[in-house]
Amino acid sequence: GAVVSQHPSRVICKSGTSVKIECRSLDFQATTMFWYRQFPKQSLMLMATSNEGSKATYEQGVEKDKFLINHASLTLSTLTVTSAHPEDSSFYICSARRTGTDGYTFGSGTRLTVV
Amino acid sequence: SQKIEQNSEALNIQEGKTATLTCNYTNYSPAYLQWYRQDPGRGPVFLLLIRENEKEKRKERLKVTFDTTLKQSLFHITASQPADSATYLCALGMNTGFQKLVFGTGTRLLVSP
């Protein structure tokens, strides 16, 4: 089946530093990947759509200069949280869909804690 | 305003019974609806998709219905097991091109032995 690997699973960083999260499709090519954020007991909120070889599309209210997305290959998208603050602490999840399948495959998520 | 509502309170049922979860939406016209399972600290796992022109879909112990007039989907797990305990999310797809999804808040299901 389709597998999406996300790394790291947990990260703690100091306020003001940047953190990079990787999302890889292991056994299929993904021209489009999606990045979500989930706060405790809340729904997944789409942050941005990552497009291979072009600029990401950000949802309303998401700062593109703070959440940098790079989709440099057909199997890798990265999300960099720049100048992180405690309010950026959340669960970040990526997803992609393998052509020909009905559902999206999600990564296992990254728990970001900014101290 | 646009909303996707799922029961915010946990659903507690006994093993062997049928669990029924509800997803209601307002001011959306989805082309399809999906159901996912999410375990704590993990990403969601796809379960079923049902399109706007379909009334019902089944997969093993799972059944999904979709009523576009009521703007509601029901998700059933028959012969429930403790291993079915998780949070279940519904998600709406706005077009057939499989672009972004809009998720409900999820319902936590607890199946007791």
Provide the pairing of β-strand B107-112 with B11-14. Answer: parallel
pLDDT in tens, A60-101: 999 999 999 999 899 999 999 999 999 999 999 999 999 888
The DSSP call for residue B10 is P
CB contact under 8 A, A107 and B34: no
pLDDT of residue B13: 96
b/e per residue, B40-64, with b = 16+ CB within 10 A? eebbbebbbbbeeeeeebeeeebbb
Could you give the 3-state DSSP secondary structure of residue A87?
Answer: helix
8 A C-beta contact, residue A94 and residue A49: no
pLDDT in tens, B36-75: 999 999 999 999 999 999 999 999 999 999 999 999 999 9
d(CA B10, CA B21): 10
CB contact under 8 A, A109 and B43: yes
**Does A5 score more than 90 pLDDT?**
yes
Q: Which residue, among B1, B34, B101, would best test binding to A if mutated, counting the most A CBs under 10 Å from its CB?
A: B101
* Residues ≥6 apart with Cβ < 8 Å to B3: B25, B26, B27
CB contact under 8 A, A46 and B46: no
Q: Does B103 touch chain A (CB under 8 A)?
A: yes
pLDDT in tens, A21-47: 999 999 999 999 999 999 988 889 999
Could you give the 3-state DSSP secondary structure of residue A73?
Answer: strand
Q: Indicate the helix (H) or strand (E) that contains B26.
A: strand B19-26
CA of B61, closest CA in chain A: separation in Å?
18
CA of A77, closest CA in chain B: separation in Å?
16
pLDDT of residue B96: 63
Which residues sit opposite A114 in a β-bridge? A13
Q: Does B102 touch chain A (CB under 8 A)?
A: yes
Return mean pLDDT, chain B: 94
Q: Name the residue facing B44 among A32, A97, A106 (closest C-beta).
A: A106
Per-residue pLDDT band for B98 (boundaries 50, 70, 90) equals low
